[in-house]
Structure 1
Amino acid sequence: MAVDDERRAMSLLHGLLEEAVAGRGRIAVVTGAIATGKSRLLYGFADEAFEHGALPLSAMGSRAERDLPLGVLAQLLHNAPMTEEHRATMLSLLHEGARTHLASDPRADAIEHVDVQIVDALCTVLLELAERCPLVVAVDDMHLADRASQLCLAYLARRVKYARIMLLLGTPGHQGHPPNLLHTEVLGQPHCRQVRLGHLSQQGVAERVTLLAGEEAAARYAARCHEVSGGNRLLVDAALEDLQESGAPGERYGEAVVACLHRAGPEALLMARALAVAGTTSAAARLLGRTGTDDGDQDRPHEGRPDRPHGGRLHAGDQDRPCERADAARAEQALAGAGLLDGGRFRHEAARTVVLTGLDGAERARLHRGAAELAYHDGAPVAVVAEHLLQAGHAGQPWALPVLEEAAEQALRDGDVEPAIEYLKLAWQACADERRRARITTTLVRAKWRINPSTPAGHLAELTTALRNGNLGGGDAVVLAKALLWHGHDADAKDVLARLAELGEPDRETVAELAAARAWFRSSYPSFLSHLPVLSEEQASGAAHSLTVGRRLESAGALARALAGECPDEPAATAERVLRGCRLDEMSMDTVESALLTLTYTGRADRAAPWCDAFIAEAASRHAPSRQARLSAIRAEIHLRRGDLAGAVDDARRALEIIPPASWGVAVGGPLGSLLLAGAAMGRFEEFLPQADRPVPEAMLETRFGLHYLYGRGRFHLMAGQPRQALRDLRLCGELMRAWGLDTPGFIAWRLDVAEALVRLEETEEARLLVEDQLARCDRRCARVHGAGLRLLAATGEPRHRVMVLRQSAELLQSSGDRYELARTLGDLTEAYRAMGEFRRAWMVGRRARALADECQITVLDPDLAPGEDGEGGEAEPVGLRPVLSDAERRVAALAADGYSNREISGKLFITVSTVEQHLTRIYRKLNVTRRTELPADLMSRQA
């Protein structure tokens, strides 16, 4: 209703008042839902009535005073001006009427239960007063007035037709409220007029927002205010405040919702609470009408609870007084009339939230328990049923356990790890079957592992006990063994594997887990491989009974073959095929990890990088920090093999921040080793020294992760100038790799690093033999290792062959994409050129080496590689370079160095293509280069 509607209502009331003042008594019944402005209209008109010569007498009905006989009439008469004699008589009548009413049956409708003579005498007091002065008798919330006062006012209404009295009554109307005397006795009177008020229209909301906050606020917020309020003035005002402050309905809106609910009455409040739990009014009505579904005294309503209505008929979970359909319909009408509902739901989540907050724990649990049962029998999605069970904290029904398990499985598939964990915890608490409980615990361990691997550690002892008692299946026993190994509990893991062998003929699931575990142990825990039960050929061939299991087997097998030194093409192809069909569901992390590492260790780090980035983003979006950390550790390895040292540091640190080092278990060697390798290469020894000295689990040296750590720590000591200490770690790393059959150059080329340490100890002959051994173990497809090996071979060979070998090394490393190793080779090549007196070549190669070193953030490059400085702070050109080229040649060389083709240079300089080619031939000969990529990039700035 807009401002104009309010004016029309006020105008109508003024007209009725004029008639009443003239001696023709009138009745006005103002009806409308909550916050439609009834009270403001009543009291505003009563104030104006005094200015028109009428005496206003006002009273208000109240739920708290409904049992106080004649309480509303007493409010009216106490405010009336009268002599002391009349007042004493009036008080005596009120006292007698109250006493008579209390002695009667309050449920009866007959007027005689309030003495007719008393009613007549009380009304006579008002009629006599009206003879002296016109009266406006205004009663707000008439529906909440005590019954005795209602009877008296109905009696008065029949007698004011020829009195100077205007009877003004406010009520919500019939909607949402049962009929009362107002409807049966008053509205039917011929001198009665009904004034209906409604909520604000969209235009009315805009006018109100403009009035309260201005036109700019109305343009921004009016539509939203109408949407969340339905035109309810109280909600409009509150929503406007919240929107101006935070941009969304919040605390003030919630407070206004609570105020509306309490004004709507107990039945509406109960419906709102059920609606907040059930979601829709139809479901809420059924929830309130449930019978016989709660058992146990703890689930019954408590006597005398203040939130229970007196005389109401809606009782959530009450077995003795079910909800009547009419009661529920009226409650829904009251909520809708208050503007709180839209399509049978709360208009905004803030309303639902504030209602739920007002529920005590027992009431909320009872409602959710009933909602769970209704949702289950209605065939609702398991997630909906499980959420109600979770909020109820109860899963005692026979159907509840499978619902929680299915909901957890579905949540894990969708990446909703936290809800899945809560469902499983409730299922675990409710499950009495030990074998089933062990299965639930295994799933819970897997789910918690996604958040933090250390979180489920407390369940491992429980699962171990379940295995000893024969309550843990073979497949779950394999999962338990892997978890124990992760945390470094070697003895317990061996005991689990031994008991697994005693379980007899394995079932299909156990066979699949064992087959996948064998390949996984082969690549990650090789020293434990002998403890796994051996599968027959028939069992092994039938292990891949599903697509998910098949991918796990393929991926783990590809990594095992890659680390065993097989031809890298086939494992890499398998890994890429597996990755194309993978998602990070509850079973595939090992699959993804093995496939990414297969690509990385077969010299295809460039192909692994985009896959790894995509899976990291997916893990972050699915709120799986454990997986995000494990993938970040792999990404750090990929960065290292591409010479991106800063990227390796960032990802390794991220992995150790997401999962603290203590929670990584034996796998901490992966990110820790990468961090040490990158820090050593960058020359940041003091910064990374604490990582080199960090205590690590002793069991880590029984795993692939221990090899990463030994290699990283060995390289750190080597680059820090401690070759003998480095040799201990590097040789131990090599011994373990050979013992476990993982001695492949694509994984860790430990011989090269041992050789480098020996070179620094001037034991060049042994170093040369190790380098030759390493080169014999890899072909040119291992470009990165081959290139690094040639660099060390040059360091141990004759000086006259050094340039040729280093150039071969640079070509291989250029193709491999490892910028760090390429920078080291170019640094050695610079020194080799300088030793041969080829200073121009030394200058050009050294400049490129310095650029790569800066790109990789290497701070330990030989200072002699740094270009000299001219008087202006730029790079100085070697003596004799400037007079070599003519001006025409310099212009051609500058454009060629910038990447222009011969035809493009011809067009820019207005010369023929043949002339460009002749110039370039002379330029290459004069500068002693073979290709345009070796040309100095700033020739034009070096004028003679």
Structure 2
Amino acid sequence: MAVSVDAGQGGIRQLVGRSVELNGLIRHAARARAGAARAVLVRGPAGIGRTSLLAAVADRLRAAGITVRHHTGRLDDAGTGRRGAGALFGPELTRGTPPAPPARDAYAVHRLLHGHAVGLMDKGPLALVLDDAQWCDETSLRGVDFILRRAATRPLFVLLSQRTDCHGPGTPVLAELLAQDRCALVELGPLGDGATSRIVGQALGAAPDERFVRRCAEISRGNPQLLHRLLAGLREAGVRPDAAGVHKLGALGDGVVASSVPDSLAGQPRHVRQVARALAVLGRAETDLLAAVSGVTGKRMAAAMEALRRHEVITPGTPDTMSDAVRTAVLADLPAPGLEELRARAARVLNDTGRPATEVADQLVLLAEVDEPWMLAVLRDAAAEAPGRATAKAAVRYLQRALTAALTETQRKDVRVELAKASAQVAPAMALWHLRQALDTAVGPHDRAAIAVDYGMAAVGTPNAPEAVRVLGTVLDALPDGPGAGVTLADRELRTSVEAALLVTAVNEKAAMATVRERARAWPVPLGDSPAERRLLSVASAYAALEGRPAREAASLARRALRVEEAAPAGWWVLGSSLVLGLADEADEALTGLERALATTRARSEPRLHIAALANRSLTLHGIGDVTAALDAARAAVEFAAQSERTAGTPMPHIALSTALLSQGRADEADAILDRIGGRGTDRHIWEWHHYLYAKGRARRELGDLEGALEVWRQCGRSLAEAGVTNPVLAPWWLPATTTLSRLGRGVEAAATIARAEESIRRWGTPRARGTGLLAAAMATGGRARLDLLSEALEVLADSPARLEHAKAAYQLGHELLSRDDAPAARRHLRLAIELATRCGYHALGAVARNLLVTAGGRMPQLAASPLDSLTESERRIAALAKRGVSNREIAEALFITPRTVEMHLTNVYRKLDVRGRTDLPGGLGSHKTPGHRRRRTAADATVPSH
């Protein structure tokens, strides 16, 4: 194959980067033509350009009138006598010649070759060009030496080439020839940068970037053949030789290096190829393992490894490993039966030497047959060793391979359950399918119950949830119940697990929640003495909250569920209990539970649950008036969800983000986000659908569409009623609906709206519910009663974590007082509203409160008594961690936000406090309490001690 060659004038090839060597060979030929026979040996590794150089010399000599006889040696020619160098003189010399002439006939062969050479030289100068001479037989090469010695004063030029990275039958003769004075040596080295740049430019049709050229040289190692292969791939891929193209060279480079491997190994001894294949199967070099798999030991093993390093079959700079592309290339020419035998031998060796199950399984999954009992056991053990998301795909691969083995029905069912657990994190649909198959083959209620629990938990939040509810209900009916004979503690725990799975699978399903809740009414409340009982308590607290039973009862159940730190990781149970505590005004405990869920789901790489925890942490932070932190958490949830196609469309992060943006006065952005998600796939879910409708109504109101907002909120109220949800604070649509109706002068409708919510508000009974209920009632009322209700609402909300609602009440009271011409009192409450809104990041309310304060004749309040008071809650929290020496990345992980968000907040802190960096931050950052928020112990606190 010609490389580094262009067609020049008259069809003569022009070499790129080999002009020095070409001119030197032409000078040797000129001296030989003058009557001083000479030989030159050109040496170099495969692909370095020997063939191209010899072809270019032959072209020049022919153009100068010299007779040229050109032949290339072949490995198959070894030992075939005249078919080596004899082929230089035509087929008539090789036709009918025995394949291996006896040694006594070698002199006759030499004389025959010499006679033909003399006949040619009588007609003019002669050049004998023999490429890949190392493959020629000894007799033939010695014949060339015979001619050279007897034509010392004749016009004879002998040009030979030798590949240096392999050993052929002619190698010893070439060494002897080189030792003589009449033979010169030309060593071909790597191409220089200039030559590489010219070749790149010609191949890709543009002047190349310097970094592009340098990277091409590194990948090809100055080897013209590898360079041309690389450039052909780049040209086909449409890569330009500019700075942007540098980043695309890596993968193509691996392929180019791998493409040279077969050529490099072709000429190596058998034991080198055996070691290379064993290393390709194993992936890395451990002498004992390589010896057992390859059958090569001792000095031959050391020599083989040295040869593989020399030819860079082993990746340079690594502890004797091969790249994946090279491993594939090494094994490409091995027949399928041989490769199967080699992999099976490697698996047995790894297993017999006690290697980790995953290493053995990596060999087994590539076998055509997994037909031995130990193989199945290894595949299942390997899957059990791969619990995290990073290794889940490997576990799935192991178990899918195990399913192809000859299994009993029981084994197949067990493997399907294991496969479902492994695939739940990476392919939920696959997990559900395998669990359904396992359910169909399970025998007995206990067997079916354990699988049904996994099926229900895998179906949470998916379209399969209704089917899972039906399956769990059927399984539950078949289980023994009560204290009768034969019901063991294990039976009771299993039944409790099924009950908990049934409730949690249905809790967010509009069509199923009410029916399952009715079924669960007869169940006794568990004590919480076992994991299953604590899970049942958790989901029971969620049902109590949705039903709108007193907050203290729901919070009590949630606390009892969380009172013990489970050895098992936090899951939907911890998330559910945390959300209930947040609805019950126990924000600190709710955030603690959410952070526990976040830490576990991040460590175990459970994306659906992690995203849900992040989004609901945002809503909880928003609920306590930390809008900036809520926005950070929502953005983190959106970014995390976008990392996978399966979670990119998850609506809750976008709903949380829109909620925070609305409070910041960015209604256009919020509405656009809500329009994009469109509530798709959420209308059957209780939590997501009603939060979506509540936020969508807010967006329409802020954009001036009051009637559209009212319609959306009424839809929210109807949907909650259809689902049997009466909790007044889950999506408190009645509050903005009442205030909007009042604003439109439709007092009767406003009064009817709040009247329908009063019973649920009274029963839930938290300060947030009572305070917002008073606020809504005030807006639906006129006269002195409105003023009294607003004053009471302000007082009640001051004792709740609902700082946004507290700010709203202060604003509404200031607005009402101003309408009654009590400007001094109005200014006092408007300043409180501005202060609260500013601290919360509630820009939408802060703006209208400032305008009203100016109308009331007031000046803007001086909010910052000290520089620390100018910090938001998020900035204060991050600055306190930074002051303690926590890194930005650790802060981001601790607060479940991105490092960029941490940097942004710290920049704001440094600017506000006028400091240069974290070492200059003042003390007292963690001791801040926002004015107007007086935390009071609630009835729920008195019922059950805090965990």
Q: Do these two structures clear the TM 0.5 threshold for a shared fold by scoring above it? A: yes
Q: Once the two structures are superposed, what CA deviation does each residue of 1:39-68 show, in whole Å capped at 9, x if it has no partner?
A: 455456667778999765432123577798
Letter in 1 for 2:476: L
**Aligned-residue CA RMSD (Å):** 6.5
Partner of 2:187: 197
Moved more, 724-733 or 243-252: 724-733
Residue 597 of structure 1 corresponds to which residue in structure 2?
A: 579
For 1:867 and 1:754, the matched residues in 2 are separated by 24
Q: Tell me the equivalent position of 1:99.
A: 96
What is the distance in 2 between the residues matched to 1:902 and 1:488?
Answer: 52
**Contact 2:575–2:597 (Cα < 8 Å) also in 1:** no
Inter-partner Cα distance in structure 1 for 2:797 and 2:671? 26
Given candidates 103, 125, 128, the residue that maps to 1:137 is: 128
- Residue 427 in 1 paired to residue 402 in 2? yes
Q: Are residue 279 (structure 1) and residue 290 (structure 2) matched?
A: no
Which structure 2 residues correspond to residues 792-871 of structure 1 after superposition, within 5 A?
792-795=776-779, 799-800=783-784, 802-810=786-794, 813=797, 816=800, 818=802, 821-822=805-806, 824-826=808-810, 828-839=812-823, 841-842=825-826
Cα pair 1:751 1:770 within 8 Å, conserved: yes
Amino acid of the structure 2 residue aligned with 1:62: R
Shift in Å, 1:694 = 7.3
- Structure 1 pair 246/366, CA: closer, same or farther in 2 (3 Å)? farther
Q: CA, structure 1 residues 257+372, in 2 after alignment: closer, same or farther (shift >3 Å)?
A: same
1:384 to 2:359 alignment: yes
1:71-90 aligned at under 5 Å gives the runs 71-73=83-85, 75-78=87-90
Deviation at residue 791 of structure 1 after TM alignment: 1.8
Query: Pick from 38, 46, 49: which aligns with 1:34?
Result: 46
**2:862 is equivalent to residue 896 of structure 1:** yes
Per-residue CA distance 1:472-511 (angstroms, 9 max, x = gap):
4753343235456762123322222234449997899877
Equivalent position of 2:902 in the other structure: none
Distance 1:728 1:690, change over 3 A: farther
Unpaired runs of at least 5, structure 1? 79-90, 291-321, 738-742, 869-874, 883-892, 905-930, 935-944
Confirm or deny: 8 A CA contact 1:38 1:170 kept in the other structure.
Answer: yes
- Pair 133,111 (structure 1): closer, same or farther in 2 beyond 3 Å: farther
- Map Cα deviations across residues 544-603 of structure 1 (whole Å, 9 max, x no partner): 5xxxx9997897798789887457887777888878x99xx9x64335534543553443
- Distance in 2 separating the partners of 1:372 and 1:407: 13
Pick one of 461, 464, 468 that aligns with 2:436. Answer: 461
Q: Does residue 1:788 correspond to 2:764, yes or no?
A: no
Describe the superposition over 1:653-698 as per-residue Cα deviations: whole angstroms up to 9, x where unpaired.
999999999999xxx9989998999999979999979999978898
How far residue 858 of structure 1 moved from its aligned partner, in angstroms, is 11
| Distance in structure 2 (CA, Å) of the matches to 1:15 and 1:723 | 95
Shift of the alpha carbon at 1:170? 1.8
Preserved contact between residue 424 and residue 444 of structure 1 (Cα < 8 Å)? yes
Q: Secondary structure at the match of 1:137?
A: strand
Q: Is the 8 A contact 1:524 1:705 kept in 2?
A: no
CA change 1:575–1:195 in 2 (3 A) is farther
In 2 relative to 1, CA 120–460 (structure 1 residues): closer, same or farther, beyond 3 Å?
same
Does structure 2 retain, via aligned residues, the 8 Å contact 1:575–1:598? no
Structure 1 pair 658–340 and aligned structure 2 pair: CA distance change class (3 A): closer
| Counterpart AA for 1:493 | L
Write the letter of the residue equivalent to 1:837.
Answer: D
3-state DSSP class of the match of 1:493?
A: helix
- Within 1, Cα distance between the matches of 2:394 and 2:441? 25
- 2:260 is the counterpart of 1:249: no
Residues 411-420 or 333-342, more deviating: 333-342
Residues 677/263 of structure 1: CA separation in 2 closer, same or farther (3 Å cut): closer
Q: 1:328 to 1:48 in 2, by over 3 A?
A: farther
Shift of the 599–110 alpha-carbon distance from structure 1 to 2, 3 Å rule, reads: farther
Q: Which amino acid aligns with 2:130?
A: V
Counterpart of 1:124? 115
Q: 3-state DSSP class of the match of 1:171?
A: strand
Question: Any idea what SS the aligned residue of 2:97 has?
Answer: helix
What is the identity, as a one-letter code, of the residue corresponding to 1:487? A
- Distance in 2, matches of 1:41 and 1:282, equals 41
C-alpha contact 2:138 2:173 (8 A) present in aligned 1 = no
* CA-to-aligned-CA distance 1:54-94 (integer Å, 9 cap, x gap): 7654321235777987445465225xxxxxxxxxxxx64x1
What's the secondary structure of 2:365's corresponding residue?
helix
- The AA in structure 2 aligned to 1:467 is A
Count of aligned pairs between the two proteins: 804
1:58 has 2:62 as partner = no
Which is further off, 385-394 or 235-244?
A: 235-244
CA distance in 1 between counterparts of 2:654 and 2:200 reads 59
Equivalent position amino acid for 1:878 in 2? T
Could you list the per-position Cα deviations for residues 140-171 of structure 1 after superposition, in whole angstroms to 9, with x for gaps in the alignment? 10133467745644654675667664543322
Identity over aligned residues, as a percent? 20
- TM-score between both structures, scaled by the size of structure 2: 0.64
Separation (CA, whole Å) in 2 of partners of 1:790 and 1:867: 24
Q: Residues 897 and 933 of structure 1 are in contact (CA less than 8 Å); yes or no, is this contact kept in structure 2?
A: no
Partner of 1:878: 855
Instruction: State the partner residue of 1:476.
Output: 451
The corresponding residue for 1:631 is 613
8 Å CA contact 2:132–2:160 kept in 1: the answer is: yes
1:324-358 per-residue CA deviation (whole Å, 9 max, x = no partner) reads 99998887666544444325757765545666788
Rounded to whole Å, the distance in 2 between the matches of 1:537 and 1:610 is 25
Q: Using the TM superposition, give the Cα deviation of residue 126 of structure 1 relative to its aligned residue in structure 2, in angstroms.
A: 1.0
For 1:177, the equivalent position in structure 2 comes to 167
> Aligned pair in 2 of structure 1 residues 156, 553: CA closer, same or farther (>3 Å)?
farther
Q: Quote how far apart the aligned CAs of 1:425 are.
A: 1.8
Equivalent-residue separation in structure 2 for 1:569 and 1:415 (angstroms): 36
Instruction: Indicate conservation of the 8 Å contact 1:806/1:829, yes or no.
Output: yes
Q: How does 1:667-706 map to 2 (within 5 A)?
A: none
Structure-2 residue corresponding to 1:110: 102
Give distance in 2, aligned partners of 1:763 and 1:537: 39
Equivalent AA in structure 2 for residue 246 of structure 1: V
Deviations 1:516-569 (A, max 9, x none): 55556566657658989x99999985x55xxxx999789779878988745788
Compare 266-275 and 809-818 and name the one that shifted more. Answer: 266-275
Matches of 2:334 and 2:826 in 1, distance apart?
81
User: For the structure 1 residues 66 and 848, does the alpha-carbon distance in structure 2 shift closer, same or farther, using more than 3 Å as the test?
Assistant: farther
How far, CA to CA, are the matches of 2:646 and 2:27 in structure 1? 83
Structure 1 residues 727 and 707: CA distance shift in structure 2, 3 A: closer
| Aligned equivalents of 2:673, 2:400: Cα separation in 1 | 43
Match of 1:428, as an amino acid? L
| Residues 359 and 497 of structure 1, relative CA distance in 2, 3 Å threshold | farther
- Offset at 1:641? 2.8
Q: Are residues 336 and 6 of structure 1, via their aligned partners in 2, closer, same or farther at CA, if it must alter by over 3 Å?
A: farther
1:487 to 2:479 alignment: no
The residue type equivalent to 1:279 in the other structure is G
CA change 1:349–1:594 in 2 (3 A) is same
**Structure 2, unaligned runs of 5 or more:** 1-14, 202-206, 508-514, 701-706, 871-929, 934-947
- Equivalent positions of 1:733-752 (< 5 A) are none
Amino acid paired to 2:855: P
Deviations 1:101-123 (A, max 9, x none): 2xxxx4x57346x7864552232
Find the structure with the greater CA-based Rg: 1
Residue deviations 1:394-432 (CA, integer Å, cap 9, x gap):
533333323322333333325433333222222223260
CA drift of 1:442 comes to 1.9
Secondary structure of the corresponding residue to residue 59 of structure 1: strand
- Pairing 1:405–2:396 present: no
Using a 3 Å threshold, how does the CA distance of structure 1 residues 440 and 271 change in structure 2: closer, same or farther? same
Provide the rounded CA distance (Å) in 2 between the counterparts of 1:72 and 1:235: 28
